[in-house]
Amino acid sequence: MTTTLRLALTDDQRALKAGVTEICKRFPGEYWRELDAKREYPEAFVNELTRNGYLGALIPQEYGGAGLPIIDGALILQTIHELGGNAAACHAQMYIMGTLLRHGSEEQKKKYLPKIATGDLRLQAFGVTEPNAGSDTMMLQTTAIRNGDRYVVNGQKMFISRAMQSDLMLLLARTTPREKAKRRGEGLSVFLIDIRSLPGFEIRPLRMMMNHSTNALFFDNVEIPADSLIGEEGRGFHYILDGMNAERILVASESIGDGRWFVERAVAYSSQRVIFGKPIGANQGVQFPIAKSHMAVETAQLMRDKAAALFDAGEQCGAEANMAKYLAAEAAWDAGNACIDAHGGYGFAEEYDVERKFRETRLYKTAPINNNLVTAYVGEHVLGMPRSY
Ligand SMILES: Cc1cc2nc3c(=O)[nH]c(=O)nc-3n(C[C@H](O)[C@H](O)[C@H](O)COP(=O)(O)OP(=O)(O)OC[C@H]3O[C@@H](n4cnc5c(N)ncnc54)[C@H](O)[C@@H]3O)c2cc1C
């Protein structure tokens, strides 16, 4: 089978982008700036996106979503970032529901997906990281022990975003002690849990560098129904890995949007700011980093498009999705630096939004997976070199 890589948007995609643009225009820089200062969740923006069906874009039509391919989900997120917004407030809803879709029972899908599509239920929290298990997920210590028709959860999660704003959370916990697991990668299970009123469950917000609604979570003998298990017990790590390509493609798209925003702002500012009698953008020291950033963002987009085309054709895309995430995060970061440099002191002034975007875009070099681990993936899995971990 030949996978086609489209280089131009279809009419439907142009309409999709126009719809998202119309919403974003109603939420300008001031909106994001004010929330950033108060570290508040963009409730109105997320509700507007949900009401218009954009967060249910990837949910199949039979469950009430739009049933769009991943490239369209990518376009939605990219557009939000191109226009100065921050889709981090809701992006996880697009990719975590994939675990439910691929591995959940028909009963679970019917129970949750239509309500997630309409926005009656929010699934935006994804509980993986722990204080002693960052990049090395296999070291997770939070346990879920079966006791009759319940599992009892104990442990701690770190940096879990949007737990306060979600009704549901996808939780990865250990159901078999590590030493008893037959193979590496077994013994962890995924649960879809309702976190609205769970005795023994505590959420402590963390003030981060950017407005990201991130928390530490504590589980003290928290009882969850046994039917919140997704798929088979012990297979959770594989289920999560299975969803990584979608996550990489979508997060890359946000970085591509950021990169475009930085380049556009840098071009506009440096073309009109006159110092020493000419626009600063005429100086190669200012112009070249911006032009180079543009080339890097374009390259990252090509890789994202390739990854998405393979994903939508149901083909292997691990290498491309990882490379897209890496290239896009680095391109956006370089574009952010070029933009701040071009703005001189004004790059640091809040009212220009550059410093806010600069802080926001930095995250994607580190999370959801850091670029060192992506590089190790390419070295070890794509090029077949010896493993470091
Ligand atoms: C704002 C924010 C939001 C987040 N939201 C979520 C969320 O919703 N859900 C969730 O589960 N997690 C979330 N995370 C966690 C995020 O996924 C982790 O921070 C990330 O996976 C890295 O884990 P760590 O911070 O423990 O870093 P560590 O694993 O301790 O790594 C620290 C650094 O060491 C380097 N490193 C580690 N191992 C290697 C290696 N083998 N080779 C080379 N270099 C290496 C990397 O550069 C890495 O950046 C969030 C984090 C942040 C900052």
pLDDT tens sequence across 193-213:
999 999 999 999 999 999 999
Q: Is 376 in the pocket of ligand 1 (CB under 6 A)?
A: yes
CA of 134 to the centre of ligand 1 (A): 5
Cα 370 to ligand 1 centroid, rounded to whole Å: 6
For residue 316 and ligand 1, the question of a CB distance below 6 A is answered with: no
Token pair recorded at residue 85: 């917004």
For the record, the structure tokens of 40 come out as 């508040």
Nearest C-alpha to atom 24 of ligand 1 is from which residue?
134
100 pLDDT above the threshold of 90: yes
Residues 6 or more apart from 155 whose CB is under 8 A from it?
Answer: 130, 141, 142, 143, 173, 219
- Give the DSSP H or E segment for 325: helix 318-343
Q: How many CA atoms lie within 13 A of 354 on its CB side?
A: 25
Cα–Cα distance list, 344 to 220, 221, 269, 287, 350 (Å): 50, 53, 10, 14, 13
Chain-centroid distance, C-alpha 345: 31
User: How many whole angstroms separate alpha carbon 221 and alpha carbon 243?
Assistant: 29
The residue whose CB lies within 8 Å of the most ligand 1 atoms, and thus the one to mutate among 209, 326, 366, 377, is 366
In this prediction, residue 4 carries a pLDDT of 86
Residue 375 CB less than 6 A away from ligand 1 = no
Nearest CA to ligand 1 atom 37: 135
Whether residue 274 contacts residue 286, with contact meaning beta carbons closer than 8 Å, is answered with no
Is the overall model pTM greater than 0.95, yes or no? yes
Which tokens belong to 127? 């509980």
Tell the residue nearest (CA) to atom 4 of ligand 1. 159
Which residue owns the Cα nearest ligand 1 atom 11? Answer: 128
How far is the centre of ligand 1, averaged over its atoms, from the C-alpha of 282 (Å)? 40
pLDDT score recorded for residue 184: 79
- The overall longest dimension of the chain from CA atoms, in Å, is 78
DSSP-assigned letter for residue 133: B
Task: Give the Cα separation of 243 and 284 in Å (integer).
Answer: 43
Ligand 1 within 6 A of 304 CB? no
Ligand 1 neighbourhood includes 58 CB (under 6 angstroms): no
Q: What angle do CA 366, 372, 376 make, to 5 degrees?
A: 140
Q: What is the pLDDT of residues 245-270, one digit of tens each?
A: 999 999 999 999 999 999 999 999 99
Q: Which tokens is 266 given?
A: 């840098």
Q: Answer whether residue 1 shows pLDDT above 70.
A: no
10-29 pLDDT, tens digit each = 999 999 999 999 999 999 99
Is the CB of residue 206 below 6 angstroms from any atom belonging to ligand 1?
no
